[in-house]
Amino acid sequence: MLYDKARIFVQGGAGGNGCMSFRREAHVPRGGPDGGDGGHGGDVVLVCDDSKRDLQSFKRRAHYKADRARHGEGNLRHGADGARLEVPVPPGTQIRMDDGTLHDLTIPGQRVTVARGGSGGRGNKRFAGSTRQSPRFAENGLDGEERWIDLQLKLLADVGLVGLPNAGKSSLIGRMTRAAPKVADYPFTTLEPVLGTLDGENRQLVIADIPGLIEGASDGAGLGHDFLAHVERTALLVHVLDLAPLDGSDPLANHATIEAELRAHDERLAALPRILALSKADLVSEERAAEEAAAWRERLGEDVPVIVTSSATRQGLDELSVELLRRVPVRERVDVTSLEQSGDGEALAEHMVFRPAEDKGYKVEQVDDGVFRVSGPPVERLLARHDLENDEALAHIEHRLNRMGVIRALEAAGFEPGDDVEIAGMLFELHPG
């Protein structure tokens, strides 16, 4: 069974805590603070891996957490960073984040960070200065990002075979390529996409046999609607149309049904180049097959080649193969090494990453008489960084709130010394001096 969808939970490693320590050595009576910083937590990174074919591994394991960092130690020893967790995914995987961001991994070696590790806390050495020479507090490391993300696999095929159930797609791909699909004379023989490789003189094409579509497939009817996404990446569609339907249906109506479902799913599919393969020619006379082909060429025009085929006798399969190799454009190759080296072959310096700035704002509101609430990422991170049982840390927090303008915003909202202030669920009684 092909697993083409998965939902996983990713969590970056927590940052290490900074250390509160003082240098104590013989003959060094005033060694001063020497607490080291905590390390940075590990990131969770999804990597495009050509050895993977589907998302089956995510059905067995849905939670991925990177390693946390080590804490800082005395003698200015900084904690080690947490190890990065790399999770392999097959080429063609789309990653949808909880904020709607979409990443598309198509080239082996591509990677995207889906959960960053938490930053490490600073040791007490960082807070030493001319007015505070012996700080007795340090910062805590922050937790890493965590979120649920959705993965969807869209096969990287050059050609997609579409058509009604029992149109002859499986037999066609089985005779043209090395694929070994299940073939039977009942509907929905193909329960999952089948990939085959068509060999040319100088290139290969990947052909995908998409499970049969029926009327209403784009709205969820039948089996094929689950796999319509797999034809989105193809450069060419082969519409396989049965010349002699067993149910006696009209081939013209069958063709219109499939085309309508493709348009309803994605307008881009309707614009893809087409080849019409009239299948099962061995079940009708040569005269009827020729008449049907001429009629379809007149309906579709010169832009859509019409080829009469038979998987039983191999009629038209060589012609179809030549037409596929001729009409499918050669994909541009991306030289991944060129991203790592400069023009003269020397390795480039470490690249810089620019990310949107985090929200720097905060909100002040009065929730009751003498009770105010301050909310926002910067003040919440400030509290998460420090030990609220430490008096020096609390004094440092109040100093930082003053520099951030929170005290002025509180006073503008009617705050008076001694009123209670709620930040991140904690209640404080501030007496700004």
Residue 133 within any structural domain of the chain: yes
Same domain, 163 and 298: yes
Same domain, 175 and 267: yes
Residue 345 within any structural domain of the chain: no
- Read off the pLDDT of each residue in 19-28 and give the average, rounded to a whole number: 84
Q: How many domains does the chain have?
A: 3
Which among 153, 177, 205 is the end of a domain?
153
**Alpha carbons 353 and 43: distance in angstroms, whole number:** 14
CA 234-239-243 angle, to 5 degrees, is 165
What pLDDT digit, counting tens, does each position of 265-312 carry? 777 777 889 999 999 898 889 999 999 999 999 999 888 999 999 988
Structure tokens that stand for 433 in this block: 């001096």
What pLDDT digit, counting tens, does each position of 354-409 carry? 666 655 588 899 888 888 999 988 899 999 999 988 989 988 988 888 888 888 88
- Read off the pLDDT of each residue in 170-181 and give the average, rounded to a whole number: 73
3 band by pLDDT with thresholds 50, 70 and 90: confident
Same domain, 210 and 144: no
Residue 340 within any structural domain of the chain: no
- Read off the pLDDT of each residue in 176-182 and give the average, rounded to a whole number: 62
Which among 111, 126, 153 is the end of a domain?
153
186 band by pLDDT with thresholds 50, 70 and 90: very low
What pLDDT digit, counting tens, does each position of 311-356 carry? 889 899 999 999 998 888 875 544 544 444 444 444 445 566 666 6
Contact between 293 and 306 under an 8 Å Cβ cutoff? The reply is: yes
Q: What percent of the chain has pLDDT over 90?
A: 34
Domain containing residue 202: CATH number: 3.40.50.300
Look at residue 34 and tell me whether its pLDDT is greater than 50.
yes
- Least confident window among 121-125, 167-171, 329-333: 329-333
**Alpha carbons 91 and 418: distance in angstroms, whole number:** 60
Q: Are strands 371-375 and 420-423 parallel, antiparallel or unpaired?
A: parallel
Look at residue 231 and tell me whether its pLDDT is greater than 90.
no
Which among 153, 186, 210 is the end of a domain?
153
**Alpha carbons 42 and 80: distance in angstroms, whole number:** 10
Q: What is the pLDDT of residue 113?
A: 94
CA 334 to chain centre: 20
Q: What is the pLDDT of residue 228?
A: 65
- Least confident window among 82-86, 142-146, 162-166, 199-203: 199-203
Same domain, 208 and 101: no
Q: Which residue has the higher pLDDT, 221 or 403?
A: 403
Same domain, 149 and 165: no
What pLDDT digit, counting tens, does each position of 48-70 carry? 988 887 788 898 899 999 999 99
Domain range enclosing 371: 363-429
- Using CA atoms, how far residue 212 sits from 18, 170, 403, in Å, is 60, 10, 65
Contact between 219 and 263 under an 8 Å Cβ cutoff? The reply is: no
Instruction: Please provide the DSSP assignment of 271-324 as one string.
Output: HS-EEEEEE-GGGS-HHHHHHHHHHHHHHH-TTS-EEE-BTTTTBTHHHHHHHH
Look at residue 120 and tell me whether its pLDDT is greater than 80.
yes
Q: What is the pLDDT of residue 347?
A: 45
* Side-chain-facing half-sphere of 242: CA atoms under 13 Å: 21
Instruction: Please provide the DSSP assignment of 117-148 as one string.
Output: PPPPPPPGGGG--SS-SS----PPPPPPPEEE
Look at residue 190 and tell me whether its pLDDT is greater than 60.
no
Mean pLDDT of the chain: 82
Residue 343 within any structural domain of the chain: no
Same domain, 7 and 146: yes
What pLDDT digit, counting tens, does each position of 235-268 carry? 889 999 988 887 777 888 888 888 887 888 777 7
Residue 337 within any structural domain of the chain: no
Q: What is the pLDDT of residue 213?
A: 58
- Least confident window among 30-34, 207-211, 302-306, 388-392: 207-211
**Alpha carbons 90 and 47: distance in angstroms, whole number:** 8
Contact between 139 and 6 under an 8 Å Cβ cutoff? The reply is: no
Same domain, 177 and 123: no
Q: What is the pLDDT of residue 346?
A: 47
